[in-house]
Structure 1
Amino acid sequence: MTTQPHTDRRVAIVTGGSRGIGRQVAQRLAADGFAVVIGYAGNKDAADEAVGAIEKAGGTAFAVRADVGDETEIASLFDQAEAAYGGVDAVVHAAGRMPLSPVAELDLGELDALYRTNIRGTFVVDQQAARRLRSGGALVNFSSSVVGLAFPGYGAYAASKGAVEALTLILARELRGRDVTVNAVAPGPTATALFLDGKDDETVARLAAQPPLERLGTPDDIANVVAFLAGPEGHWVNGQVLRANGGII
């Protein structure tokens, strides 16, 4: 890890950056010239692989283990990004949990864990981003199109993402005068391990057929949207929830 600050490039923190959509976002931002700090919960091997892939492609990155629900660990994550690169210009909060269960059957322990990651975690990360993002910066949270689609079994998850959307819109207004944008991306069904886990082929095919584009989204599809919002071309978009779902209704 670099120990002397470098201020000649933009810097991004990506939580949940060791796998799935978060990893693709980290790789895309690195390809766009960001120095990337990958936050991960516990799988060091996956985080190291993500860093290795970025470095192999000519980018700059390092990984930090941090529980998004722990304010001390997230403050340390930001501290390390600032110590290495001199500041933070983009924060992408992609870490999340998705337990599926009918409301009547959900284990409340699972609900508490979901709350800690998806709601408290978003608040903790957003709080640090609000304090530390440099002028011209961007914060991108992750919601889900299931907030509007209301699929059975997604009650707890959709409720947590509804909270993310509310926080996103309010924080965008609270940062008036800072030249920092705050938006959320709400993917539809996307072909990641998290989404595909536990679904049979028939269910996957049915979900893939729902958008007018007649396919599942890919991590690349979502990373492209995040890169737009995090970059200068998307800086006039603020306080929005962008439903990246191929037109699914």
Structure 2
Amino acid sequence: MKDPGESGDVSTIKVLLVDDQELLRQGLRKMLEIEDGIEVVGEAADGAEALLVAAECHPDVALVDARMPRMNGVELISRLSARHPGVAAIVLSTFDEDDYIFGALRGGAVGYLLKDCTPEELVDAVRRAGRGETVLASPVAARLVAELRRTPAEPSVPRDAERLSAREAQVARLIATGASNREIAARLLITEGTVKNHVSSLLRKYGLRDRTRLALHLKHTPEP
């Protein structure tokens, strides 16, 4: 199951585990620590504790339970996004209820997995989130698409005053194909930081709140 990347020369993905069940945290730690390129740097039993631990251990990815005492996963992710925007949060939950799914994604989560996923799926999700990709369990993705189809469509193009630059249009086309920030940077010969800046600009111009909605929006609208 070890597959850190094609070259093997990749930075370690630091993971924070957030779940009120200690037994589950121990199991996740043991499963992830045998993987090359993944290090569990912290644990927390609820959202309030997770905010303190995140400030100390500076994780790249947070695996977050949806239901926890004191502060649930949805509220935690919103606060993590505000205080630690570099942390890619993945919900790992037993529940696939709309309030949790859409609340977490609106709050800034990059993924939502169910606890019946396989170890291989979880490890792959951590790696993909560490690369800046979005990770959704199949049932969750289907619910998200259905919800987007029910809601009023966003404008298909930005306002005249907010037209995309040539580079933004290139980034938008690659996002629509599902490319990660790293893949976009390699294709366009720019840094990942520059890609992130373009993604932020695209979110502002399209009036969208997160990359997941941006990717789905661009996938189902005419090329910019």
TM over 0.5: no
TM-score (norm 2): 0.43
TM-score (norm 1): 0.39
Higher RCO (C-alpha 8 Å, min separation 6): 1
